[in-house]
Structure 1
Amino acid sequence: MKFKDGYWRMRPGVRGDYATAAHDVTALDGSLRVLAPTREITRRGNTIDGPVLRVDLSSPMPDVIRVRTVHFAGSVPDSPAFAVRDDRPEVKIAVDAGEAALTSGDLTVRVRRDAPWEMTFSAGGRELTRSAGKSLGAVRDPADRHFMIEQLRLSAGELVYGLGERFGPLVRNGQSVDIWNEDGGTSSEMAYKNVPFYLTNRGYGVFVNHPGRVSFEVGSETVSRVQFSAEGHDLEYLIIHGPTPADILRRYTALTGRPALPPAWSFGLWLSTSFTTDYDEATVTSFVDGMAARDLPLSVFHFDCFWMRQFRWCDFAWDPEVFPDPEGMLRRLKERGLRVCLWINPYIGQASELFEEGAAAGHLLRRPDGTVWQDDHWQAGRALVDFTSPAARDWYAGKLRALLDMGVDAFKTDFGERIPTDVVYADGSDPERMHNYYSLIYNQTVHDVLAERRGPGEAVLFARSATVGGQRLPVHWGGDCESTFEAMAESLRGGLSLGLGGFGFWSHDIGGFEGRPDPAVFKRWVAFGLLSSHSRLHGSGSYRVPWLFDEESVEVLRAFTKLKARLMPYLYGAAVQAAAEGLPMMRAMHLEFPGDRACDHLDAQYLLGPDLLVAPVLSADGEVSYYVPAGVWTRLLDGETVTGPGWRSERHGFDSLPLLVRPGAVIATGARDDRPDYDYADGVTLDVYQLGDGATRTVTVPAPDGAPAAVFEVSRQGDRLHARRLNGPPAPWTLRHAGARTTAAPATDHIEITLSVKE
């Protein structure tokens, strides 16, 4: 939200009261309290009739500093609030006549005691950012609404990333961003997943700890500052020191939560009925039979909306006209080795039997006059479950328990964005603060019941809406997009941006959602989709089975589905890292190469895990340009090498795309290509790429439950390549390098290769 008319003046009817100095500073137990008048105090009379801001400085964990500013303390709502870790680490506090300072780890905040106001954040003797000169304050707009505001300096060349799932350019500079969940597709400034957290290439991140609407002006009102504001009388933000982008994400997710590890089977191919298509058990069976007959490995079958009766979403009851024997159908699908996912949402249509049941029990969200909140969007007379009520959560979960007991394995938790504010919540939560937060308690309710019935390691969602903390409840997908190359690029940008907010696992509708994709779009999207953390074929009004496009689509889907299955030892290792450290599986290039300025703006390529560079082909003719960082990279699909740094332009067939292995990587590949969940250590191959003389790499091959199954150490000395199994079962394994190959017997713990050509 913009408040100024240019740089010097406020907009008509807007009044701003900004901190002028740290007039009074008190050192408390592990914190500093600053009283900051909004006008200069030159005599005692200036202390009368004017706002004074209270600024509290503290640290919830090392290298993180919390700033909380309050105007009217009695007007601050207390719910809902994000769960933020607070370890109360040891800090250093110094107060003298000139300044007050608080240090946590390597991060220090300094507040100047005299005018003008200046609060500076630094680490390692280097300033990161500062609040100075009409930055921190309280603002009233022409409608007499009260906002708290802060502006932090942007240095020359400083770039901003994050703020949730955003489909425009990856770098946020020059953008206005409202943190407000909306069902807006992938082609606008709206987003399903809004996260008030950003990080910059200057070694720090900023988390605005406010669950409601936060407006960011990223160099868009004052071009040398990031401004953020929220309606109300308090504003809390946390400065998170890196220095690397990966370090910032590790600390941010340590504060707000890291992803649960999804089950290994969820990384296989998901096939959907699609949205408005006609289908019944015969249709489902024909799809499953068609995939099997064409040797297309399938892991999950998803039933979208019309598994339930029309007008009654959600009543959690199978439509008896098209699914007369749901228990039998589920049993038959399970006998074929498939998992089953069902579409749900938090709405209750008026025609559903559950409407009266929920209304009578008080489980539905109400208006201030006590009536049930309803409208006719989506489902006629729909109501909304009030997840702030424990009884309502248990009621909703009970409906899901019955489906899980029937044989369902996962839920697609659609919607959760269009949440009204003219309502009263059961727990008294502020409706504006609840708008985004609703997505968290909705998805948490579903994830909890899955973990309860299936076990924590088996719980997986396919969720569309999210906010801070939502990363704990994977998986998320990118929402409704067109079936075009442009929409494919939009989806990728959204996923990379979301990953920079700590979301480790992300997917999208292969082929796009709206419309029927051209075969070229479908085939290019297949390659991209199978080189994403999760892979789903889904559409709106048309089926997404590949043989409906052309026979080449079948071949392309087979090749990339099997490739992903073989890569699962490596990919699941990256998934374990995402759960342990908060680093996304699909990583923006800047995240891995922060010192390479050529990577700063790249948003059409990414790293899948730490060592695979993927550049999706966004054209029918196969033309693609991508950037290669320094070193000798190896093309995974044909073994050719590519030397960076530099840009490359290539043409690829539908069965190919730029897929490069990082220099020095050891990629663990599995012995099976027919499913994603198998014993990764049994018959594993360690492929060594451009490992430097004297270098050593440790490779952990995970089990399907995420625990270490086998650990190997690979090293090179001159023309000798050594690999040793440090632990793990006595299973056969292979070491491979540039065509040289040896296979170990089951009892062998050491392999040595003589390289024929020195690198």
Structure 2
Amino acid sequence: MKPRNNPLADLLDFDAPEASQDVLWSAGSPHAVSVLDGYVGIELDFFAQVLGPEGIMLDESVPLKKHILWVSAYGEEIIRLTINFNGSELPVANNNVMLDIDETVKRLPLSVDEDPTGWKVVDPLGRTRLEINTQPPTIKYWSGLIPAPPATLDATIYPDGLTSVALEAYDIFKPGQHESFPLAYVEREQRPHRATFAFHASANEKIAGTGERFAPMNLSGRTLILENADALGVNNRRCYKNVPFYVSSRPYGLLILTSAHTRLSLADISTRANQAMIEDGLVDLFVIGGRNIERILYNYRLLTGFPHEVPLWSYGVWMGRMTYFTAEETRQVAARLREEAFPSDVIHVDTGWFDKDWICDWGFSPRTFPNPHDYLKEMRSNGFRVTLWQLPSVSAQTHLYAPALENQYIASKNGMSGFSNFGDSGSAATIDFTNPRAVAWYQGLLEELLRMGVAAIKTDFGETIDLQADYAGMDAKRLHNLYSLLYQKAAFDITEKVTGKGLIWARAGWIGNQRYPVHWGGDSACTWDGMAGSLRGGLHLGLSGYAFWGHDIAGFHGLPDFMNSWPSDELYVRWTQFGVFSSHFRYHGTSPREPYEYPAVANLVRQWWNLRYALIPYLVEQGQQIVHTGLPMLQALIFHHEDDPMCWHIDDQYYFGNAFLVAPIMNDDGIRDVYLPAGKWIDFWTGEVLEGNRWLKKLRMSLEHIPVYVKFGTQVPVYPYRVQCSDEMDLTKAVKVAFDDQYRGLRSSVLGTVVTL
């Protein structure tokens, strides 16, 4: 639909044919405040507004409606605002699968102080956490040409008692011509249909997060559709992992607790407002303080869950393609990797382990993978773990379909829909993860594989479901975005039960999926912009609560030929270098990705793989830390330098853990600018000491190197021996490299005995 440059259309969809009889109800000034069990209830009048020639105008013929906005405090740095336009129930925190509230977070009882200007909501420490202004705006009357502005909700939240986050109260040109509403909802056929809210956006405010956004670092000035989709790459507005959460430079975070389709406009439709439209009658917001980015993300994880730790072997090299078709083919790949001294831990088998490619029945083909128990045992004895692809639907071509349909393990209505964009996958029905019996059935399929010796499951897809089907526990539109969380939880939990440590390889995401690592960046193109888009997505995902993330090295699909355009040697090396400094390091694509298939650069790639294994003690150390903090492994510069405006605009550099500053090369020329933030830095390769807070212009790097710097004074644990897989590592033998005045470069350090770079 063509944008109208009108918020009633562009945000609230009043231009849709089905919206012709919709009624907008906007909040007026509060007239009563009450306290119930430590919750503060703000009673609001809502006034009917109808479309007219001058915009949207008050319909005085319709009686007003009353709704209660509930305010609650979660600890000392989080305020929750909840209003249910279908009723006035108190918010309940423990019955929502998106939340996993830490036991340390206690709800603080709130009280109310009244003064001539309105009300103050106060916590037990005497701090004002929300302020309601009931005074009319100051005016100096001299003309009656334009009516006075209508009464509205004028409130400021202080999530941590200090940071102020105001609702956008008067975002109007004149009455009837609004750019946003502080709080409103739209009624269709006398039922709440969608809702909207708006916070004030300051002129220099920067925004990041919202999921795996393939966009520049500062999202201010964009309108985003938070509706999961198969993004079909990493260079468009679609998103595999939407998260209705953002972090602001002011600083604060906002979690919109919903699984409904949501439109989020960040100082775009109105440059004065960060506003959203939720396709639901419930608005449930957590305004999160903390006074710095990491603390805000920590508080977000306190609400939605911390990531689990990942096993040591997962930090090694994963080798795959779309796809290996036989056990013998994987044996040959594994043998050659060992013969040519490419250290590696995982062989991934994608769509080709079934009787028919893409037709997932969770069973090894007896023709191409005979004796799977023996096969998996053999691979494991050679230091390789095997991971398997599958998807959350049941094909009508499998023996599982009929019993699954009979037992309502799959959702079906008016036929079936296909899940895959590839191959002859036929029609398939969605597994209903809202049905506990379906979850148990699905976990049983995985459990058999895991007990057989499979190391982990690739939980592909999950971004879309059949919206025409009936599901046991939820309306399809509300389930859509939430589906991946239920799907990944089921796979992760059974993996943890069988193997002792949970791990999946997942593509989709929403609120809470960070609890179940690992996630990867989707189907990037084998191009420089595919690499750049992947990094952008990873940075925003790390600002959305996710800790562990990988990407397909060196891109997933070819261009212009999807299956047969291979990555260039230069791209293969540069993406490898990016992968070494990522939490997880996996090769995958539509064409071969084994390093010996790129003979001109294979020796160089081997050295980078050796560096990866040397850094595994550092990865383990960082991994153990970040699961208890707000940090991801791949960190945007604003985690450490949020007061530096430059860092809010850098999306091609990052911190790798707390020590390394990494600037991948993403062009054929080997030239790039690097921004060194404030502080003292050491060149990882040469040992040169540099002062930060400056640009290094037009650095020219040979194919062997990319710009990597280490914070002066840090000590990085490394493994001082070459290994072929993580099974050979004894982490008690790790040693620390001190990056100080005595460091003379990689070759002069213990790393020089392991890596020739």
* TM bucket, shorter chain: 0.7 to 0.9
Query: Aligned partners of 1:29 and 1:95: how far apart in 2?
Result: 19
2:610 counterpart of 1:567: no
Query: Which of 381, 384, 388 in structure 2 is aligned with 1:338?
Result: 384
- Match of residue 100, structure 1, among 112, 116, 119: 119
Q: Answer yes or no: is the 8 Å Cα contact 1:259–1:579 preserved in 2.
A: yes
User: Of the candidates 419, 422, 426, which is equivalent to residue 465 of structure 2?
Assistant: 419
Instruction: Return the match for 1:481 from 516, 524, 535.
Output: 524
CA distance in 1, matches of 2:407, 2:7: 55
State the AA in 2 paired with 1:472: R
1:321 deviates by 2.4
Tell me which residue corresponds to 1:235: 283
Q: Confirm or deny that 1:35 pairs with 2:43.
A: yes
Report the Cα distance in structure 2 between the residues aligned to 1:82 and 1:683, rounded to whole angstroms: 41
Question: Whole-Å Cα distance in 2 between the matches of residues 142 and 650 of structure 1?
Answer: 62
Distance 1:358 1:76 in 2: 38
SS in structure 1 at match of 2:129: strand
- Secondary structure of the 2:203 match is coil
Give 1:334-483 correspondences, 5 Å limit.
334-367=380-413, 373-375=416-418, 379-427=425-473, 429-455=474-500, 458-483=501-526
> Bigger CA drift: 303-312 or 611-620?
303-312
| C-alpha deviation, 1:311, in angstroms | 6.1
Counting aligned pairs with the same residue, the percent is 29
**What residue number does 1:110 align with?**
131
Q: Contact 2:686/2:745 (CA < 8 Å) preserved in 1?
A: no
Contact (CA 8 Å) 1:312, 1:348: kept in 2 or not? no
Q: Structure 1 unaligned runs (5+)?
A: 692-735, 744-759
Counterparts of 1:39 and 1:621, CA distance in 2: 61
1:609 counterpart (657, 664, 675): 657
What secondary structure does 1:138 align onto? strand
1:513 to 547, 556, 569: 556
Cα 1:68–1:152 change in 2 (3 A) is: same
- Any idea what SS the aligned residue of 1:664 has? coil
Amino acid at match of 1:195: V
Q: Which amino acid aligns with 1:121?
A: I
Secondary structure, counterpart of 1:551 in structure 2: coil
Task: Choose which of 62, 74, 82 in structure 2 pairs with 1:68.
Answer: 82
In structure 2, the partner of 1:491 is 534
Deviation at 1:484, TM superposition (A): 0.2
Match of residue 598 from structure 2: 549
Could you tell me which of 63, 67, 79 is aligned with 1:53? 67
2:154 aligned partner, one-letter code: E
- Which of 154, 157, 162 is matched with 2:204 structurally? 157
Q: Please tell me the residue identity of whatever aligns with 1:110.
A: E
Distance 1:350 1:551, change over 3 A: same
Q: Aligned-pair distance for 1:49?
A: 0.9
CA contact (8 A) 2:443 2:490 kept: yes
Q: Hey, what does 2:581 align to over in structure 1?
A: 531
SS at match of 2:352: helix
2:246 to 193, 198, 209: 198
Once residues 499 and 655 of structure 2 are traced to their aligned partners in structure 1, the CA distance between those partners, rounded to angstroms, is 32
Cα distance between partner residues in 2 of 1:263 and 1:375: 34
How has the CA–CA distance of structure 1 residues 107 and 352 changed in structure 2, closer, same or farther, with 3 Å as cutoff? farther
| Paired residue secondary structure (1:222) | coil
Q: Deviations over 1:35-71 (max 9, x none)?
A: 111349xxxx989712333211111232100001222
In the alignment, is the contact (CA less than 8 A) between 1:135 and 1:152 conserved in 2? Answer: yes
Q: Answer yes or no: is the 8 Å Cα contact 1:73–1:234 preserved in 2.
A: no
Higher deviation after alignment, 283-292 or 463-472: 283-292
Whether the 8 Å CA contact 1:671–1:682 is kept in 2: the answer is no
* Separation (CA, whole Å) in 2 of partners of 1:29 and 1:144: 29
Counterpart Cα distance in 2 of 1:137 and 1:561: 55
Amino acid at match of 2:169: A
Name the counterpart of 2:265. 217
Aligned residue among 238, 241, 246 for 2:294: 246
| Residues 351 and 617 of structure 1: CA distance in aligned 2, closer, same or farther (over 3 Å) | same
Give the AA of the match of 2:306: R
| Structure 2 partner of 1:500 | 543
What amino acid sits opposite 2:225 in the alignment?
D
Q: Which residue of 1 aligns with 2:166?
A: 129
Following the alignment from structure 1 to structure 2, what is the Cα–Cα distance between the partners of residues 533 and 145? 44
Partner of 1:718: none
- Helix, strand or coil: the match of 2:505? coil
Distance 2:619 2:681 in 1: 19
Out of 738, 741, 745, the position equivalent to 1:688 is 738
Residue 500 and residue 680 in structure 1: after superposition, are their counterparts in 2 closer, same or farther (change >3 A)? farther
The within-5 A match list for 1:683-722 is 683-690=733-740
Alpha-carbon distance change, 422 to 654 in structure 1, aligned in 2, over 3 angstroms: same
> What is the aligned partner in structure 2 of residue 146 from structure 1?
193
Amino acid at match of 2:665: V
Note closer, same or farther for the CA distance 1:592–1:642 as it changes in structure 2 (3 Å cut).
same
SS in 2 for 1:307: coil
Provide the residue aligned with 1:24 in structure 2: 32
Task: Confirm or deny: 8 A CA contact 1:192 1:466 kept in the other structure.
Answer: yes
Cα deviation per residue 1:691-712 (whole Å; 9 max; x = unaligned)?
8xxxxxxxxxxxxxxxxxxxxx
Confirm or deny that 1:256 pairs with 2:270. Answer: no
Alignment match of 2:720 (pick from 671, 674, 687) = 671
Q: Which amino acid aligns with 1:433?
A: R
Residue of structure 2 equivalent to 1:183: 230
1:17/1:139 contact within 8 Å kept = yes
Deviates more, 1:12-21 or 1:60-69: 12-21
Q: d(CA) in 2 for partners of 1:60 and 1:488?
A: 39
Contact 1:527 1:556 survives alignment (8 Å): no
- Higher mean Cα deviation, 569-578 or 519-528? 569-578
Q: Which moved more, 1:203-212 or 1:316-325?
A: 316-325
Q: Is the 8 A contact 1:568 1:680 kept in 2?
A: no
Mapped partners of 2:400, 2:749: distance in 1: 63
Work out the number of aligned pairs and report it. 685
Alpha-carbon distance change, 421 to 87 in structure 1, aligned in 2, over 3 angstroms: farther
What's 1:316 paired with? 362
Letter in 2 for 1:464: R
Structure 1 Cα separation of the partners of residues 442 and 132 of structure 2: 50
SS of corresponding position for 1:353: coil
Whole-angstrom CA distance in 2 between matches of 1:2 and 1:148: 22
1:303 and 2:370 equivalent? no
Distance apart, 1:353 and its partner CA: 0.6
Q: Is the 8 A contact 2:35 2:112 kept in 1?
A: yes
Give per-residue Cα distances to partners, 1:394-432, cap 9 Å, x unaligned: 1111111111121111011100012122221122x1211
> What secondary structure sits across from 1:501 in the alignment?
coil
Task: Confirm or deny: 8 A CA contact 2:260 2:280 kept in the other structure.
Answer: no
Which residue of the partner structure matches residue 689 of structure 2? 641
> Residues of 1 paired with 2:636 and 2:219: CA distance?
14
Structure 1 residues 570 and 255, CA gap change in structure 2 (3 angstroms): same
- C-alpha displacement at 1:259, in angstroms? 0.3
Amino acid at match of 1:316: W
Residues 212, 436 of structure 1: 8 Å contact kept: yes
| Partner in structure 1 of residue 98 of structure 2 | 82
Q: Which residue of 2 aligns with 1:728?
A: none
What amino acid is aligned across from residue 384 of structure 2 in structure 1? L
Q: What's the secondary structure of 2:537's corresponding residue?
A: helix
AA paired with 2:120? A
2:263 maps to a residue whose letter is S
Say whether the 8 Å CA contact 1:64–1:107 is kept in structure 2. Answer: no
The more displaced of 64-73 and 602-611 is: 64-73
Where does residue 720 of structure 1 map in the other structure? Answer: none
CA RMSD of aligned residues (A): 2.9
